[in-house]
Amino acid sequence: QSGNVYTITNAKSGTVVDLSGRDNRSIIGFPFFNTTNQQWKLEWTSIGWTFQSVGSGHYIGIDGSQSDGTRLVAQTTPFGWDIWHDEVDPSTYRIVVPETSFNVDLSNFGDPNNGTLVAIWGQWEALNQTWRFEQGE
């Protein structure tokens, strides 16, 4: 729901979407610690869903062109996303660059190691492109 804060967990690795504390820019997978750099305020806007870091106030966007492997970063400008139920497991969601087939993807096939980059890749039937949203406080 628009205006709510969520933790976003990868369906394959169990790690969460995290704004790196090292550079305050990279979007990575990391174990859940319930810190503000792992909490995202979702807003429905004219450009789609925006994901704003509770910790920094920055938004999840892409670092460059829309192509396989382009990493996600925190930026000051809102970036719009589509959110769709996964067709195989409707309890999970896909986060998609609007009007493309590029899905938010935990890199290295859903590598659970700390600091794995989150990027966009063309959609395929892979758990590392599906996510669970848990509403926070």
Domains and CATH numbers, the chain: 5-135 (2.80.10.50)
The per-residue pLDDT for 108 is 96
**Residues 50, 42: contact at Cβ < 8 Å?**
yes
pLDDT digits (tens, 9 = 90+) for 52-110: 999 999 999 999 999 999 999 999 999 999 999 999 999 999 999 999 999 999 999 99
The answer to whether residue 29 scores a pLDDT higher than 70 is yes
Band (pLDDT 50/70/90 cuts) for residue 136 is confident
Instruction: Give this prediction's pTM.
Output: 0.96
Closest CA to 19 of 49, 59, 64: 59
The per-residue pLDDT for 137 is 67
**Residues 16, 7: contact at Cβ < 8 Å?**
yes
Q: What backbone torsions phi and psi does residue 128 show, to the nearest 5 degrees?
A: -70, -5
